Amino acid sequence: MAIVEVRNLVKRYGEVLALDHFNLQIEEGEIFGLLGPNGSGKTTSINCLLQLLTYDKGDILLFGEPMRPNSYDIKRRIGVVPQDVAVFDELSVRENIDYFCGLYVSDGARRRALVDEAIEFVGLRDYTKFRPRKLSGGLKRRLNIACGIVHKPDLIFFDEPTVAVDPQSRNAILGGIQRLNAEGATVVYTSHYMEEVEQICSRIMIMDRGESLACGTKDDLVRMVSTGEKVEVEAPDLPGGTLEALGALPFVRRISHDGTSIHLLCDNGPHNLATILGVLQERAVVFGRVYSEPPTLNDVFLEITGKELRD
Amino acid sequence: MQVFRAALKAFFRHPIYLLIYVVLLSCMGVFMGMSMNDAPSDEYLEWPRVAVVDRDGQELSQGLRAFVLDQGEAVEVHDSERALQDAVMQELASYILIIPKGFSADFARAAATGAKMPEVQVIISSQSMDVTMMDSLVDEYLGVARTYTVALADASQSEVVARTNTAMAHTANVSVVQTTDAPPLSNAFLVYLQFEGYTILLSIAVCSAVVISRFGREEMHRRVAASPVPQLSVNLQIAAACLVIMLACWAFVCVLGLVAFGGRIAGVAAPVVAAALAALLCYSLFGLAFGFLVGQMTDNELVMNAVSNITGLVISFLGGVWISLDLVGEPIVTIAKFTPVYYYNGAIKAALDPAGGGFTSEALANMGIVCLFALVVFCIGLAISGIRAGRMGVWNGSSTKQLSHPAA
């Protein structure tokens, strides 16, 4: 069942076209990654989905129902973890989580249980009486997440939740998102850290300039692009004709030697490395370390968007 | 009520604002009020040392001379420039009247023809109440003399002088009668309330701006807007919290004033005091509206404090808290009329008027104008809120802008 369905969404900021006939479909139980450079329209699309921004054209359906600013029953099932930490500096960790839980759950006893659960979930048990300004950046991020997920939503939007956090906190956050998903929540995750998206998302959409450029699993995306396997062989001394022999292999697209290593860019194939090493052995080339790297999401991104990630 | 509770919690986590703006400034108002003396003055008007130089020597001038010397402590001064200067500089005489030659004849002629009356010359050493009084008596003497000259066309100058002297000799007996209903009202309490206008404006503006700005931050706004609580409910809860803060500040100032000045207003009728405090409540509404405006403009506490303080000081100056408006120029008074503090002062003065205070039409009218100021400022705040939401493209449930849903 499609939890999120967006059809031909158009959003303009004055003359700037932020979303250009944007389409999106997210199935129940997915961790869906929205990947794109800054200004690509990730946050705008989420804000439109949540009815926090007006938009010019398009249809948005959440849980199969049209989403409106006053669709309070739908909003009750949604959790939002915004990009910037949005908590009250004056309230303690527990009070903050309780406040945001109270927006969704009115029953006091149930709220207390949910708050305790959220505190445990994000590992803030030792900080419940702390004010946010006393917390480190990573702990603040965890508090931000606790405030967004405390009411146990069915659909959670994470808008770049790991910006400016240390690797330990980042791993804790990503692990937490996977646990939430395992408990049944559908997750929409925006980021411009490709390794994160690669690590946790079941499907990924690459967007830029308000458009969806590609969408699918990581393997789908890799298959979409022509970038292939990268092979590096440490071989300082090459007998004459070796590079030519390697370059003549049908799957080799580019070859170079920098004095210490041979660099090959190959089409995707199951036996590329074995064939290359076979040629080297035939020519009695002494080689050291060998690296083989399949195409990464970064390669996909660069090929699709034609640019480096901005910012 | 989650938002309401959070707003109040956020407010009470700023005890320094409560301490400085509400408690300390209110206490300052108490000290200012207490410095005013409400007891009847034991001071009496001292008559000035007067000298008259009669260069005319006619019956009218002689009559005027005798009258003036009779009203003050007579001092002899020679009719020379040097002697006159010495008399003034050495304060031998504080009031010197010079009657020019031909004054009596000119006076009679002017009275008969309706022409401009001739003037006497006056030299004063320092402007004080007794000198002002003497000047006024001279004007009155000449005015009476002119009336007799006109009325008794055939009368001689000596007859005019005689009748004028007789008329000027009449005095009215004046006494202060203390009634049980309306004793003289406390000037100290009035000064306290005037100063508390500053306290109320500053404290309510800063405290409510802090609360409003907490919820107005873009990320916070979006997070709350994504929740199932309607935006209208959120806004009403924030407004209710600010209203509670406003009432708490107002109540504190009122209770402090009643405790500090209870003895001085013990005999004052309850409606009179209630009207004065109601005026303060109206002014509190203006403070709340101003806080709302500031809260819409910035979420930087430093800027909030700066704007509120500077505005509070300027408005208080225009309201005569620091310098009485009687002592400033007409342009300042004109500017003050465009501020609510002018009407707030009008309301409390009318409410505490010994000649019949309380909820008089004048007091109520002034309170109404203060409330209108609050309404205008609140509307400006709403407009700024709407403009901000429009610029962000944010759907703002509190504004009239509706989402244009093609699908709807």
Q: What is the amino acid identity at position B139?
A: D
Residue A8: give its domain's CATH number: 3.40.50.300
Residue B174: per-residue pLDDT: 67
Same domain, yes or no: A181 and A44:
yes
Q: Is the CB of residue B105 less than 8 Å away from at least one CB of chain A?
A: no
Count of domains forming chain B = 2
Q: Which residue of A has its CA nearest to B215?
A: A88
Asked if B142 and B239 sit in the same domain, the reply is: no
Shortest Cα–Cα distance, A64 to chain B (Å): 14
Q: Chain A closest CA to B236's CA: distance in Å?
A: 15
Q: CB distance from A86 to chain B under 8 Å?
A: yes
Percentage of chain A beyond pLDDT 90 is: 48
Contact A73/B228, CB-based, under 8 Å?
Answer: yes
Residues of chain B with pLDDT > 90, as a percent, come to: 26
pLDDT of residue B328: 73
Better pLDDT: A237 or B281 = B281
pLDDT number for residue B71:
84
Using CB atoms, which residue from A51, A86, A95 is nearest to B219? Answer: A86
Is there a single domain that holds both residue A207 and residue A282? no
Minimal Cα–Cα distance from B245 to chain A, Å? 16
Note whether B336 and B229 are same-domain residues: yes
Q: Supply the range of the domain harboring residue A271.
A: 230-294
Domain co-membership, A18 together with A153? yes
Please report the number of interchain residue pairs, chain A to chain B, with beta-carbon separation below 8 angstroms. 95
Residue B178 forms part of a structural domain? no
**B321-325 contact pairs (CB < 8 A, 24+):** B321/B194, B321/B195, B321/B197, B321/B198
Among A11, A12, A54, which would you mutate to test the B interface (most chain B Cβ atoms within 10 Å of its Cβ)? A54
Q: Which residues fall within 8 angstroms of residue A169, CB to CB, at 6 or more apart?
A: A137, A138, A139, A141, A142, A162
Say if residue B307's pLDDT is above 80.
Answer: yes
CATH number of the domain that B64 lies in? 3.40.1710
CB A90 within 8 A of CB B10: yes
B53-69 pLDDT, tens digit per residue, is 999 989 999 999 999 98
Structural domain contains residue A186: yes
Do B209 and B300 lie in a common domain? yes
How many residues does the structure list for chain A? 311
Determine the Cα–Cα distance for residues B68 and B101; give it in Å rounded to an integer.
Answer: 18
- On whether both B191 and B301 belong to a single domain, the answer is yes
Nearest to A176 by CA among A147, A202, A135, A146: A146
CB count in 10 Å sphere of residue B314: 13
CA–CA dist A57, A66 (Å, integer): 14
Q: What angle in degrees, to the nearest 10, is found between the helix axes of A108-122 and A93-102?
A: 130
* Contact: A53, B393; criterion CB under 8 Å: yes
Give the closest residue to A57 by CA, choosing from A210, A202, A276: A210
Overall average pLDDT of the B152-172 stretch: 85
DSSP structure string for B4-71: HHHHHHHHHT-HHHIIIIIIIHHHHHHHHHHTS--SPP---PPPPEEEEEESS-SHHHHHHHHHHHHH
Q: What is the pLDDT of residue B408?
A: 33
Secondary structure E strands in B246-403: none
Q: Which residue has the higher pLDDT, B284 or B210?
A: B284
Domain assignment present for residue B99? The answer is yes
Mean pLDDT across B137-148: 90
Closest CA to A173 of A130, A208, A121: A121
Maximum average pLDDT range among A209-223, B247-261, B387-401: B247-261
pLDDT tens digits, one per residue of B324-352 = 776 677 888 889 899 999 999 999 988 98
d(CA A44, CA B393): 10
A96 → chain B, closest CA residue: B6
The answer to whether position B60 is within a domain reads yes
Q: What is the pLDDT at residue A93? A: 95
On whether any CB of chain A is under 8 Å from the CB of B222, the answer is yes
Q: Which of A52, A111, A159, A163 to mutate to test the interface with B (most CBs of B within 10 A)?
A: A52
Domain region containing B160:
49-169
Q: CB of A152 within 8 Å of any CB in chain B? A: no
Angle B181-B185-B188 (CA atoms, 0-180°, nearest 5)?
Answer: 155
pLDDT at B394: 53
Q: Element (H or E) spanning B3, and its range?
A: helix B2-12
Which tokens hold the place of B269?
A: 């009728």
* pLDDT for B225: 87
Rg (CA), chain B: 31
Residues B251 and B136 both lie in one domain? no
A70 Cβ under 8 Å from any chain B Cβ: yes
| Residue B400 belongs to a domain | no
Residues A247 and A110 in one domain: no
In a domain, B191, yes or no: yes
Residue B408 touches chain A, beta carbons under 8 Å: yes
- Nearest by CB to residue A88, choosing from B10, B229, B401, is B10
Tens digits of per-residue pLDDT, B347-376? 998 898 877 778 899 999 999 999 999 999
pLDDT in tens, A24-72: 999 999 999 998 888 888 888 998 999 888 899 999 999 999 998 889 9
Which 3 state secondary structure label does DSSP give A28? coil
Instruction: Give CA–CA dist A280/A261, Å, rounded.
Output: 13
Burial of residue A245, with CB atoms counted within 10 A of its CB: 0-12 exposed, 13-18 middle, 19 or more buried: middle
Q: Identify the residue with better confidence: B122 or B129.
A: B122
> Are residues B215 and B359 both part of a single domain?
yes
Is B47 near chain A, with CB under 8 Å? no
Residues A82 and A179 reside in one and the same domain: yes
**Is residue B169 within 8 angstroms of chain A, CB to CB?**
no
Using a CB-CB cut-off of 8 Å, the residues of chain B touching A148 are 223
Q: Is residue A311 part of a domain?
A: no
Q: Could you tell me if B344 and B283 lie in one domain? A: yes
Cβ distance of B223 and A82 shorter than 8 Å: yes
CB B12 within 8 A of CB B19: no
Residues B53 and B34 reside in one and the same domain: no
Question: Quick one: pLDDT at residue A87?
Answer: 92
Same domain, residue pair B204 and B93: no
Q: How confident is the model at residue B287 (pLDDT cuts 50, 70, 90)?
A: very high
Write out the two tokens for B140: 């009155």
Write the DSSP assignment of B271-307 as a string of letters: HHHHHHHHHHHHHHHHHHHHHHHHHHH---HHHHHHH
Task: Answer whether B223 sits within 8 Å of A80, measured CB to CB.
Answer: yes
One domain for residues B372 and B253: yes
DSSP bridge partners of A17: A12
Query: Residue B407 has what pLDDT?
Result: 37
Judge whether A310 lies within some domain.
no
Please check whether residues A110 and A237 belong to one and the same domain.
no
Nearest to B228 among A57, A75, A86 (CB): A75
Asked whether the predicted pLDDT for residue A86 surpasses 50, the reply is yes
pLDDT at B256: 93
Query: Would you state the pLDDT for residue A185?
Result: 93
Burial class (CB within 10 angstroms; exposed 0-12, middle 13-18, buried 19+) of A56: middle
pLDDT of residue B405: 42
Task: Work out how many domains chain A is built from and give that number.
Answer: 2
- Looking at the structure, do residues A171 and A262 belong to the same domain, yes or no? no
CA–CA min distance A199, chain B (Å): 27
CATH number at residue A255: 3.30.70
pLDDT grade, residue A156 (50/70/90)?
A: very high
- Mapped onto helix, strand or coil, the DSSP state of residue B333 is helix
Of A224, A246, A264, at which residue does a domain stop? Answer: A224
Q: How many helices (H) and strands (E) does chain B have?
A: 16, 4
Q: What is the strand order of the sheet A78-81 is part of?
A: A78-81, A155-159, A186-191, A31-35, A203-208, A211-216
Q: Do both A157 and A99 map to the same domain?
A: yes
Same domain, A19 and A128: yes
CB-based contact A102 B2, cutoff 8 Å: yes
| A60 and A186 share one domain | yes
Whether A66 has its CB under 8 Å from any CB of chain B: the answer is yes
Instruction: Kindly indicate the confidence band of residue A294, based on its pLDDT and cuts at 50, 70 and 90.
Output: confident
Judged by CB atoms closer than 8 Å, whether chains meet at A85 and B227 is answered as no
Same domain, A64 and A149: yes
Shortest distance, CA B129 to any CA of chain A (angstroms): 58
CB B373 within 8 A of CB A24: no
8 Å CB contact between B214 and B339 = no
In a domain, B402, yes or no: no
Residues from chain B that touch A85, judged by Cβ atoms under 8 A, are 219
Distance separating alpha carbons of residues A158 and B93, to the nearest angstrom = 90
